[in-house]
Amino acid sequence: LQETPKRFAEADLALDLKDYKELARVCHHLKSSCHGVGAEKMSNLCSMIEDGYNKQNVTGILEQLAELKIEFKKVEGYLMTLKKIT
């Protein structure tokens, strides 16, 4: 949770610079973290962004990154709720 906003900042910068290789690297790192905590939708979105770069098809990356950030807020809220319960 603590590293994800930093990763999003890295992803935003890479996108601004049209550095899709760096964006794919950031998403690959996020994908592993998301998968580790069971955030499968986030993991799948990261895979889509990474695959887009690998296939040289960057159409839709901006929307996918926006959706990834929305999904993160949901997961973050859920995990914070769990933390309060335990």
pLDDT at 84 over 90: no
| Residue type at 28 in one-letter notation | H
Greater confidence, 82 or 65? 65
* Domain assignment of residue 39, given as a range: 4-85
Tell me the DSSP string of the chain.
--SHHHHHHHHHHHHHTT-HHHHHHHHHHHHHHHHHTT-HHHHHHHHHHHHHHHTT--TTHHHHHHHHHHHHHHHHHHHHHHHHH-
Q: What global pTM score does this model have?
A: 0.89
pLDDT at 1 over 80: no
Token pair for 80? 């914070």
Average pLDDT along the chain: 93
**What pLDDT sits at residue 85?**
85
**What pLDDT sits at residue 70?**
97
For the chain, how many structural domains are there in total? 1
Distance CA 42, CA 54 (A): 18
